Amino acid sequence: MEKFVLFINKGSGIDLLKLLIKNNIYPELVLTQTPYDSIVQGSGIKKLFINIKYLLSITVKRKIYRKTFDVYYFCRKNKIEVISDRFTNHKYLIEKCRQLDINLGIIFTYRKILKKEIINSLTHGIINYHPSLLPRHRGIDPFFWTIYNEEEYSGITFHFIVEKIDKGAILFQKKYKIKDNESVTSLYKELLKMGEDEILYYLQNGKFSEAYVQNENEKIDESIEKAVPEEFFQINENMNSDKIRKLFKAIFFTFEPYILVNNEKIKFSKYEIISENNETIPGNIFILKRDNSYFKIKTSDNKIIKLFK
């Protein structure tokens, strides 16, 4: 099997790493978030200093560090060489890959952008996992936009990395049918598992499995997404009931719909349309009622909605 360097995030990358080790597949090198700069160069004194910090961190701050930097500690435990993601575009990474005879890179849920020098340094290329059917939803947070736009299908794509984001040659794609009750979180988990299984298959067989691939007769519209700002979830007097419905459907991670009252964000976890408002409410009243558990508001399309904290 070809030697490879694995670029993964803490948290989202740990299950992939565990799956690979379970199947006796060990990356030669891993880049991830670490509790300190884990790069080891120069004298033996510096290497000793890093090892002392590692031992202190798993004793003094064991619970916090081991949970926060799960990938890093799993690598140390399994004797896999690991360095900080802060050295993603550092010349040390190129030198390290040459030293370890690494010619292939695999990126999985990694939020740093690789520069040209790193991309060109691995002769067999760098393969990236992306949780959408490219070219749709290039960029960040494709899970959110898939659910928010109420799309019928999602999927995963593996492609070669080039300088332009998510524009490299597509190697493999697999469709996923969106369920009626799909959330951003459930879609995230489903696509993550699909990606993990496919990476395992690729490393075991030297190729991707037979699956859906775009053909010339099928057109997927291209879109480029940016990170979803928290302000996108702000409910105000200009918002209609359908947009509020879509916001609650697309709740993800720490983002929840909210109303700004005197510079304080009041967040809500669910909603209910309680009236189609056959009677017209005069004036530009937005918040009709509020108490400790809910707000009652009027939308721009003249519906009455209860927002529950």
Span 209-234, average pLDDT: 76
* pLDDT of 102 higher than 90: yes
Identify the band that residue 1 occupies on the pLDDT scale cut at 50, 70 and 90. Answer: confident
Model pLDDT, residue 81: 94
Give 3-state DSSP helix, strand, coil % of the chain, rounded to 5: 35, 25, 45
* pLDDT of 42 higher than 60: no
Residues with Cβ < 8 Å from 18, sequence gap 6 or more? 74
Span 187-202, average pLDDT: 96
Span 264-278, average pLDDT: 85
Model pLDDT, residue 225: 85
Q: What tokens does 203 get?
A: 């490393």
Model pLDDT, residue 40: 47
Span 66-71, average pLDDT: 84
* pLDDT of 220 higher than 90: no
Can you list the domains of the chain with their CATH numbers? 4-224 (3.40.50.170), 230-308 (no CATH)
Cβ neighbourhood burial of 305 (10 Å; 0-12, 13-18, 19+): buried
* pLDDT of 217 higher than 50: no
Span 295-304, average pLDDT: 91
| pTM for this predicted structure | 0.85
